Amino acid sequence: MAVDKGGGGVSGEVANTGTQKTAFFNDPKVRSSVIQAILIAILVYAVWSLISNTATNLSAQGKTFGFGFMQNASGFDVNQSLVEYSRESSFWRVYLVGLLNTLLVAILGIFFATLIGFSIGVARLSKNWIISKAAYCYVEAMRNIPLLLWIFIFYFGVLRLLPGKREPYGVSLDGALGYLSVGGWIAPKPIAGDLLWLTGIAIIIGIIASYFINSWATKRQMATGQQFPKGLTTLGLVVGLPIVVFLLSGLPLSFDYPKLARFGARGGMSVLPEFIALLTALTIYTSAFIAEIVRAGILAINKGQTEASYALGLRAKPTLNLVIIPQALRVIIPPLTNQFLNLTKNSSLAVAIAYPELVSIFAGTALNQSGRETEIIMITMLTYLVLSLLTSSFMNWYNNRMALVER
């Protein structure tokens, strides 16, 4: 008996078969259009009331909505900027400075976090007992403590214990790597020589050439089965060629080394303590998550794959390069990209220690200076949203390319 008493849609249908058409609201098409229409109506109403409320509230405060103010002079200073900036610069310039600083810390953070994360992840699988246990402790210690607390620990805790600006701590002999003090890191400043552009061109040529050689080698291998030392050629073209050009053009790079003077180090370039604290915290925090992703990725590869590869006569190294790593990457890349995204978004915590990145100077200082909450928060959120969507669309593209094609 398929009759239920629970008021569900089924009983009506069963009872009325043959004598009557399906009840109005039981028709899936009608029902779904009614539900969607109601939903859209609610949404439109919500958005409309949101906008009208905001408009009323803004006009009550004597404000108008618009982005004209972005042309105005900002009127405040920023202590680190990758582009030219002064108090007279516009709010657009502030936005650009913040965005570039965010990208700087994000890109460096991603680089270091990946490096450390991969090492720790591999170390966790090491057969050496002490290495794997130490890596385990590292991961559990780093990821179970909030990132903001890490930032505070490095900024207010560790960096404040450094000596004062007048007697900085030389990082290596005679300050060849600069000086550390509570004022940050006075690092050697690279000065480009006349012929440095040649090295830059060599890098670009190396990348393009290795791309073409690799695709040619893949085609040849597909056709003839002959292998080509791809890795070595790429390394030679991308790293070796620029080094040769660099040496031949007469080492066109010199450093302005900071020197100790009476009131602290002179010369060089200064790296803000906020930057050091933020970068360190982001790096170690994210590296713990990356380590777990790498470990899971390697463990996810079935042991049978290694055995099959050995059975085919491949030795350990080609097995790793041709069988294990390509499959592990498929598992690792999506969550890894997520971590890159998280790191970029987490760089916004810099607002707590006032490193001048997007949220800190644009959604913080610029907002207070201009009093335009709505516009500035909108721009900030949209910026991060665009960054995220770009990354995730890249991730989807990559995923589709790498995905296992099954019948």
Partner 1 sequence: MSNGYVRKEMLHELPAPDGTKGIFYWLKTNLFSTPLNALATFIALYVIYKVVPPVIDFALISPAWFGENREVCATLKQGGVKPDDWFGACWPYVGANMKLFIYGRYPPDEIWRVNIVYLMFAISGACLLIPKVPYKLPNLLFMFGVFPVAAFVLLTGGHVMLDGFLVAGSFMGPSFAAFWVDFLILTCIFIALATFIARGTDSDPMPSIRMVILGMVVLAVVMAIISAPLGLEHVETEIWGGLLVTLVIAVSGIVASLPIGILLALGRRSKMPAVKMLSVMFIEFWRGVPLITVLFMSSVMLPLFLPEGVTFDKLLRALIGVTLFQSAYMAEVIRGGIQALPKGQYEGAMALGLNYWQMIQKIILPQALTLVIPGIVNTFIGLFKDTTLVLIIGLFDFLGQIQSSFSDPTWATPVQAMSGYLFAAVIYWIFCFSMSRYSIFMEQRLDTGHRN
Task: Please report, as residue ranges, which positions from 113 to 172 form the binding site for partner 1 (by CB under 8 A).
Answer: 126-131, 134, 140-141, 143-149, 152-153, 156-157, 160-161
Applying CB under 8 A, which of residues 331, 352, 354, 402 lies at the interface with partner 1?
Answer: 352
Looking at the Cβ atoms of 148 and 260, the one nearer to partner 1 is 148
Q: Where in 210-239 is the site for partner 1 (CB under 8 A)?
A: none
Q: Are 120 and 292 in contact (CB under 8 A)?
A: no
Cβ neighbours of residue 378 closer than 8 Å, sequence gap 6 or more? none
Only segment of 70-78, 256-264, 311-319, 344-352 that touches partner 1 (CB under 8 A): 344-352
Decide: is 316 part of the binding site for partner 1 (CB under 8 A): no
Residues in the chain: 407
Of 386, 375, 401, nearest in space to 94 by CA: 375
DSSP state of 254: E
Q: What are phi and psi for residue 255, nearest 5 degrees? A: -120, 140
**How many CB atoms neighbour CB 45 within 10 A?**
10
Q: Are 398 and 336 in contact (CB under 8 A)?
A: no
Decide: is 335 part of the binding site for partner 1 (CB under 8 A): no
Looking at the Cβ atoms of 8 and 250, the one nearer to partner 1 is 8
CB of 30 to partner 1, least distance (A): 9
| Pairwise CA distance, residues 70 & 283, whole Å | 33
Decide: is 389 part of the binding site for partner 1 (CB under 8 A): yes
Decide: is 10 part of the binding site for partner 1 (CB under 8 A): yes
Looking at the Cβ atoms of 59 and 79, the one nearer to partner 1 is 59
Looking at the Cβ atoms of 129 and 212, the one nearer to partner 1 is 129
Q: Where in 33-52 is the site for partner 1 (CB under 8 A)?
A: 35-36, 39-40, 43, 49-50
Decide: is 288 part of the binding site for partner 1 (CB under 8 A): no
Using alpha carbons only, give the angle 209, 215, 220 rounded to the nearest 5 degrees.
120
Decide: is 377 part of the binding site for partner 1 (CB under 8 A): yes
Only segment of 164-172, 305-313, 318-326, 340-348 that touches partner 1 (CB under 8 A): 340-348
| Pairwise CA distance, residues 81 & 74, whole Å | 14
Decide: is 26 part of the binding site for partner 1 (CB under 8 A): yes
3-state SS of 165-179 is CCCCEECCHHHCCCE
